[in-house]
Structure 1
Amino acid sequence: MFGAEFPSPVLLASGTCGYGQEYADLIPLDEIGGLVTKAVSLEPRPGNPPHRVAETPGGMINAIGLENPGLHGFIAEKLPWLREHLRRAQVFVNVVGHSAEDFAAVVRGLDEEDGFLGYEINVSCPNVKGGTMFGTDERALSDLVARLRACTERPLVIKLTPNVPDVGDFARICEEAGADGLSAINTFPGMVVDIARREPLIGNRSGGVSGPAILPMGVYATWRARQTCGLPIMGIGGIRNAEDALQYILAGACLVQVGTASFVDPGAAVDVHEGISKYLTANGIARLEDLVGALSAWPGSGPAIPAG
Structure 2
Amino acid sequence: MTLPHNTITPIPNNEPDAVPALWNTRYSEIDENFLNLDGRVDAREIEITAARKGKGSLDARLDDMASAISSTSVEMQNATVAALKFAIDQAALANYSIKAFKQQLQQEGEMTIQNKGIVSGCAATKSTTAARNLTLSTGVCFANGRAYAVADGVNAASVPSNTGVGSATVYAYLYQDAGGLWRVAVTAIGQQVPPNSIRIYNITVPANSTDATDPSLTSVILTDIRRIERNFPSRLNSPALASAVINGLSANNYRLDFDVVSATGAPCEAAAIMVFSRATNGFTVQLASAADNVTVRWRTSKLNN
TM-score when normalising by structure 2: 0.24
Larger Rg: 2
TM-score when normalising by structure 1: 0.24
Between Structure 1 and Structure 2, the one with more strand by share is 2
